[in-house]
């Protein structure tokens, strides 16, 4: 189903060589039935012309904040209210800085700051500009203001350098906008819980037992669920990862804390237990630092089994319970064994003995084991793409 048909999008085109991509952006959106109005900044007009934009959008191009003609036809406040969303593509470092710091010295920044609609930004700039600390701080600010970032990607640049900062392709931006409008249809109707990362089980106040889980796959699953409109809660062990503001993030350390956070987040339609929860904890944790000694005997006991508890709960069990199995050998046997023992609906298993995938890697390769004895395999690819495929399977299952 076309989620863009009859939508109204205000496109802001800033200066930069990537401005030429905005013409393809307009063409793709018009093809989907979108009504487009465009603001072209003074710098943007150095790269694309109002005539070329009007020819594709079949709509007037707005340029001047102090234009009597423009303000008489549609003032800048009305322009921001007219749209279903605002897309800034390309978004230059200068424009990003303006928005992050509340400056409004032209039509584009004034409309954006006056808007009450979701704003998407597709950055485009030199790799060193993108990696500069001031740009990073401005991006972080915009995220807290609920701006949605699309890209940038890594690639060759017009200046001859290579790196991150290249504007993402218009087709990918269109897909992000489609996902956003699809998410509005089911927002707050379907609830998802994702656990991610490792847990820390303390020996004393400064030492603990943990594992190598980075949390990357779980974070990507939470992002994919949220992107598709699920009201998503991410319960995360200690990681250095960032997550979107529209995801409810609960940070924990121990397995017991993760267990309590999970119970407090239920009921839900879907629960994806991707965290690498420690199997054991200390029978007794020292309240003071243990001094160095020749031998240290510690007694371990089993931790709470969160997946097993939720899967077998008569009241709180979600419609779909998904567990993870990170194995170094006998993957198929152990995955099926876990599927039956825990009474979950799916087990997603991966071979973490392969250092190219799984723990700490940005890539993965997984096998999905279902209750009906069927299996699927998602071959080697970025964890973000694996997450998108998994969420499509989740949606199909719920439907």
Choice among 113-122, 178-187, 190-199, 288-297 with the minimum mean pLDDT = 178-187
Query: Do 246 and 174 share a structural domain?
Result: no
pLDDT at 72 over 70: no
Distance set, CA 251 to CA 73, 97, 113, 230, 342 (Å): 50, 30, 32, 20, 25
- Confidence band, pLDDT 50/70/90 cuts, at residue 371: confident
Residue 13: which of 97, 150, 159, 121 has the closest Cα?
121
* Structure token digits, residue 222: 């939470």
Percentage of the residues of the chain whose pLDDT score is greater than 70:
95
Q: How many CB atoms are located within 10 Å of the residue 62 CB?
A: 24
Instruction: Return the sign of the alpha-carbon dihedral for residues 130, 120, 45, 71.
Output: negative
Q: What is the pLDDT of residue 233?
A: 96
SS (H, E, C) 226-294: HHCCCEEEEEECCCCCCCCCCCEEEECCCHHHHHHHHHHHCCCCEEEECCECCCEEECCCCCCCCCCCC
Q: pLDDT tier at 351 (50, 70, 90 boundaries)?
A: confident
Clarify whether residues 374 and 297 are in a common domain. Answer: yes
Percentage of the chain lying above the pLDDT 90 cut: 44
Asked if residue 1 is part of any domain, the answer here is no
* Whether 156 and 46 share a structural domain: yes
Indicate the range of 50-64, 117-131, 173-187, 189-203 predicted with least confidence: 173-187
Once rounded to an integer, what is the mean pLDDT over residues 203-230?
A: 91
Give the domain CATH number at 261.
3.40.50.10300
Active site residues per annotation: 159
DSSP-based three-state secondary structure for 112: helix
Mean pLDDT for the stretch of residues 31-39: 90
Give every CB contact of residue 370 below 8 A, 6+ residues apart in sequence: 345, 346, 376
Question: Element (H or E) spanning 208, and its range?
Answer: strand 207-209
Q: Which helix (H) or strand (E) holds 205?
A: none
Q: How confident is the model at residue 277 (pLDDT cuts 50, 70, 90)?
A: very high
Q: Containing domain of residue 363, as a range?
A: 187-398
Highest mean pLDDT among 8-12, 168-172, 272-276, 356-360: 272-276
Cα three-residue angle 246-248-251, rounded to 5 degrees? 135
- Do 375 and 275 share a structural domain? yes
Residue 202 has a pLDDT of: 92
If you average pLDDT over residues 171-188, what whole number do you get? 80
250 and 129 within one domain: no
Residues of 115-140 as b/e, b for ≥16 C-beta within 10 angstroms?
A: bebbbbbbbbbbbebbeeeebeebbe
Is 370 inside any structural domain? yes
- pLDDT at 238 (0 to 100): 95
Q: pLDDT category, 70, cuts 50, 70, 90?
A: low
* Structural domain contains residue 355: yes
CA neighbor of 331 nearest in space, from 371, 362, 372, 377? 377
Neighbours of 171 (CB within 10 A): 10
- Please spell the DSSP secondary structure of 129-158, one letter per residue: HHHSHHHHHHHHHHHHTT-EE---EEEE-T
CATH of the domain at 27: 3.40.50.1950
Whether pLDDT at 68 is above 70 = no
Residue 247 domain-assigned?
Answer: yes
């Amino acid at each position: 189903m076309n989620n863009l048909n009859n939508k109204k999008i205000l496109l802001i085109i800033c200066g930069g060589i990537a401005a030429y991509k905005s013409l393809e952006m307009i063409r793709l959106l018009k093809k989907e039935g979108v009504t487009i109005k465009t603001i072209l900044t003074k710098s943007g007009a150095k790269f694309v012309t109002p005539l070329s934009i009007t020819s594709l959008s079949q709509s007037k191009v707005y340029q001047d904040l102090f234009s009597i003609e423009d303000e008489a036809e549609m003032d800048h406040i009305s322009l921001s209210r007219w749209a279903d969303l605002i897309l800034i593509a390309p978004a230059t470092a200068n424009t990003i800085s303006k928005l992050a710091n509340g400056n409004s010295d032209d039509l584009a920044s004034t409309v954006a700051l006056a808007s009450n609609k979701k704003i998407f930004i597709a950055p485009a700039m030199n790799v060193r500009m993108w990696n500069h600390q001031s740009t990073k701080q401005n991006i972080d600010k915009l995220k807290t203001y609920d701006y949605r970032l699309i890209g940038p990607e890594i690639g060759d640049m017009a200046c001859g350098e290579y790196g991150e900062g290249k504007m993402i392709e218009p087709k990918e931006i269109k897909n992000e906008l489609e996902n956003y409008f699809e998410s509005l249809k089911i927002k707050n109707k379907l609830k998802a819980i994702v656990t991610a990362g490792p847990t820390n089980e303390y020996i004393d106040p400064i030492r603990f037992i943990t594992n190598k889980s980075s949390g990357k796959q779980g974070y990507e699953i939470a992002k994919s669920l949220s992107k598709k409109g699920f009201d998503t809660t991410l319960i995360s062990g200690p990681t250095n990862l960032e997550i979107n503001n529209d995801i409810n993030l609960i940070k924990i350390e121990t397995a017991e804390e993760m267990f309590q956070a999970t119970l407090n987040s239920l009921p839900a339609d879907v629960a994806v237990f991707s965290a690498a929860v420690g199997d054991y904890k200390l029978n007794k944790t020292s309240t003071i630092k243990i001094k160095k000694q020749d031998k240290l005997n510690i007694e371990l006991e089993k931790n709470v089994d969160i997946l097993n508890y939720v899967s077998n709960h008569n009241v709180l069990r979600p419609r779909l319970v998904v567990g993870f199995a990170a194995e170094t050998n006998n993957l198929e046997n152990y995955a099926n064994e876990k599927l039956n023992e825990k009474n979950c609906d799916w087990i997603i298993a991966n071979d973490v003995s392969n250092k190219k995938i799984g723990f700490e890697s940005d890539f993965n390769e997984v096998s999905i084991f279902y209750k009906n004895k069927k299996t699927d395999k998602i071959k080697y690819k970025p964890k973000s793409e694996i997450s998108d495929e998994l969420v499509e399977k989740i949606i199909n299952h719920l439907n």
